[in-house]
Chain A
Amino acid sequence: MSRYDWLLFLHVASAFALVAALVLYTVLIAVVWTKDIPTDVARLFRISKVGDVLIAVGSIGVLVFGIWLAIDADGYEVWDGWVIAALVLWFVMGAFGARTGKIYNVARDRARSLAREGDNAPNAELRAMVQDRRGLWFHTGGIVVVLLLLIDMIFKPGA
């Protein structure tokens, strides 16, 4: 395998990790949506740890190996329009992800603290937190941006 092959594999594998994290978060948001019992919410949020690792590894990996590929591969340059578009989309994705994470981490921490205190009755405040529309919109925005990134990578407009 050439260096190009390895870089391409690592770039694509990172993209898979990134999308896997988004799928995991989407499933998590869907299943906690109707929950208001602190231990139920806290329990389900445990799967988010794997998503946190995947999103970190995936988002850094696609950027690093993508730029490396653009520099290394003949025929592509970092200043190609579709590569610049991907870089812009990557930053937008990061902004959406940070906002989404902040909103849902508050809900997770609240569920954990209620569970620790032994308060396991249905909690309206917790339900409002897991059903936060801003969190849902930021997450949806992140998914749309990742779809645009995938379209940009495959169609390479202007290349």
Chain B
Amino acid sequence: MLAAIRPDSWNYALFLHVLGAMILVGALVTAGTAQVLSWRRSDGSDSAAFARLEFRTLLFVGVPAWFAMRIGAEWIYSKEKWADVPNEPDWLGVGYITADLGGILLLVSVVLAGFGARRLARADGGSTILARSAGVIALVVLALYLVAVWAMTAKPG
């Protein structure tokens, strides 16, 4: 019941878009959880392990999932010929803004998580500021995508 009945040729694009978005949300939840758990611990090896987990999850799961979601979105956009519609609906605008802004923030969080994990591994319990920043950004992106899920399903406007 994910959406109304539509031509099968559109369904492949929608499947890619939804699957990518779901895996992306999963990656953000996993990375965010790892970071929040590391905040609650004072042990340096905990912080390093969770920072590494956060970085790898964002890089190897989050980034490919973002591309799947975004490619699926563009594919279904062209299938549904939204470019020919003079006034696009609000939910489509919300989707575009959250997807693209979220993509930039995801990239920033991957870079910060990578440097943060490296620093923690080298200094064994050194500053966690980079990894923490990456975790906060990942949680912000997660919140953005929850808004996008609402906009895509409820389709306001």
Contacts and interface: CB of A to CB of B under 8 A. Distances in A.
Q: Are chains A and B native binding partners rather than an unrelated pairing?
A: yes
Contacts, number: 101
B155 interface: yes
A150 B154 contact: no
Which residue among B14, B23, B56 has the maximum number of chain A CB atoms within 10 Å of its CB? B23
A40 to B, nearest CB: 7
B154 A20 contact: no
Contact of A47 (B3, B15, B33, B150): B33
Contacts of B27: 23, 27
A76 interface: yes
Interface in A105-151: 147, 150-151
By secondary structure, the B interface counts as helix
- Chain A interface: which size bin? 35 or more
Contact of A19 (B15, B25, B34, B154): B25
B5 A156 contact: yes
Given A73-B1, A154-B15, A23 B26 contact: yes
Contact of A154 (B3, B21, B30, B34): B3
By secondary structure, the A interface counts as helix
Contact of B53 (A21, A44, A150, A153): A44
A150 B18 contact: yes
B57 interface: yes
Given A20-B25, A23-B29, A31 B19 contact: no
A16 B69 CA distance: 13
B78 interface: no
Which residue among A6, A9, A12, A13 has the maximum number of chain B CB atoms within 10 Å of its CB? A12
A6 B27 CA distance: 25
A28 to B, nearest CB: 8
B22 A19 contact: yes
- Chain B interface: which size bin? 35 or more
B46 A43 contact: yes
Contacts of B146: 13
Nearest to A76: B1
B127 interface: no
Contacts of A56: none
A27 B19 CA distance: 17
B149 A9 contact: yes
B26 A153 contact: no
28 contacts: A1-B156, A5-B154, A8-B2, A11-B1, A12-B153, A16-B25, A19-B25, A19-B26, A20-B22, A20-B25, A21-B26, A23-B22, A23-B23, A23-B61, A24-B26, A24-B29, A27-B56, A27-B61, A43-B46, A50-B29, A54-B29, A66-B1, A69-B1, A150-B15, A150-B19, A154-B3, A155-B8, A159-B5
